[in-house]
Chain A
C-alpha cells in the first residue's frame, strides 16, 4: 500500500542540522540585539553631557557611573556590599523556595491539605508583604534574620502558587498512562508529575527570584549598614546620584545574571517542550 511510505521516509536529518553560519548568527547576533537599545541610550546621554548640553549633575553620564563603580571596587567596598546583598537574597530565596515548593506540592497533591491550607495562605498573600516589616523587626530584630524573613516571604508566594497550580493542571490523560502501567505513588510523582510540572516550576522560580531582588532592597532600606540597598540610601542622603546609579546598575547586572543562571540550568531539562516561540527558537 502506498501509505507505508510514511514508515520509511528517511527524514532523519530534517531539522537538526542547520548551516554553520546560521547557527553562529543564532548564538551571538540574537543576544547582541538585546543590548543595542541600552547602549544607544547610554551613548546618547554620554554625548549630551560631553557636549555641554546637560551638566549631568543629577543624572551623571555612564562614564561617571563607571568611575564610581571602579572606585568602589578598588576600595573593596563593592565586593563587601555585593556579598552581603547576595547572601541575603540567597538565604531568603532558598527558604522561600523550599517552603513554597513543599507547601505548594502538598496543597496540589492532597485535596484535604489544600482545603485546610490554601485559604489561609491566600489570605496571607493578600497582605502586601512590606506590611510585615514592623512586625518582623519587633520579632526578629533589625539585623539579618528579619531581612532574610522578608525576602523569603516575597519568594514564597509565587513559588507556592506556581507549584500548586502546576500540579492541579497536570493532564489527567497523562496521569492515566502512569496508572495503566501501574506506577506506585512515588514512581508516579517521579516519572509523571515532576516532569509535567517542571516548565511551570521554572517560571515560578524566576518570578520568585525577581521578587527576592525586589524585597532585598526593601529589607536593606529598613536600616542596614551594608549591602547594595544601603548604597542606594547612602547615595540619596549624601547627594551622590552616581553612587545610586552605580548600585542600580549592579542590581540590574546581578538580577539578570541570576535569572540567566536559572535559565541556563533548566534549559537542558526542558528541550522536549512543544511551545510557541514567537520569532523563532531563542
Chain B
C-alpha cells in the first residue's frame, strides 16, 4: 500500500468514526423530537435554535454528574463494561460501503474503510461481542436487577442472532459473497435485494430491533421490572457510553440493512446518469457522491423507522419474546432459505436448461 492510500484510509476511518459519533449524538435529539411529535408535543426547543444544542447540554450534564462505583462492585470490570460496549459499537462501521469509488487524478479511492472479503461475518462477530459489554457491566454492578437485565440481554441477543444469521444466509445465497462491497455492487440500479427477499428482510428487521435492545424488545432495561436493567448502577459518562453505544448500534444496523436489502448506495437510473456525462471520470464521481447521499438517506430513513416503532409499540413479555424468536422466526428463516434455494434452482433451470 503506498503512502497516499494509507493517509487516505486514515482520514476516511477518522471521518467515519466522527460521522457515526455525530449521528449517534443527534439521534438522541431526534429521538426526543420524534417522541414529542408523535405525542403532539414540540420536544426540546430551548437549547439553541430549535433545541439543536440539546445533545451538547445532555452530554455536559452527564460529564458533571457524580462518578459513582458501588462499594461491592468489581471495579475493573465495572469500568470495562461501558468501554467494551462503546468500542464494539464504534468498530462495526469499518466494513460498511458508504459509497462507490471516487476517482481523483490517477488514484481511485474506495469509499469503504476496509474491504475485507468476510465483511458481514466481521459485523456479526463484532456485534456479538457487544453482549459482553452488557453482561460484564451487569455482573460487575453486584446488584440483582443489573444481573437480571444482563442475563436477559445476553439470552435475547443470542436467540435473535440465530434467526438473523439464518435470514442472512438467503442473501448470501443470492450474492455468493460475504463482502459487503460485492453485495452492494450486485444491487446496481434498482436491482435491490428487498425484491427477492421480502420475508428475509422482515425477519432481519425484527431481529435488528432485538439486537439493538430497542422497543418492543427492550426487555433488558424494562423499567417496570428491572429499574434500569444492566445499567441500574451506572451514572455519569459511563451511563452515557451505554446509551451512546445503543445509538451507534442503531446507526450501524440501519447501515447494514440498507446495504444488504436496499441497495446501499445504488439508486434507480444511476447508469443513465453516469452515461449522460461526456467525461467518464466526472460522471463516475457525480454518481458516487450522489450515491453517498442516497446511502445516508436510506440510513436516516431506517433510524427514523426505529424511533417511530419505539413510540408506537408496547414492550413484549419475556416469554413472548423467546417464543417469537425460537418458534416463529427461526423456522421462518429456514423456510426462507429453502424458498430462496428453490428459486435459484428454478431460475437456473429456465435460463440455462
Question: Do A and B originate from a single complex?
Answer: no
Identify the B interface with A (CB < 8 A).
none
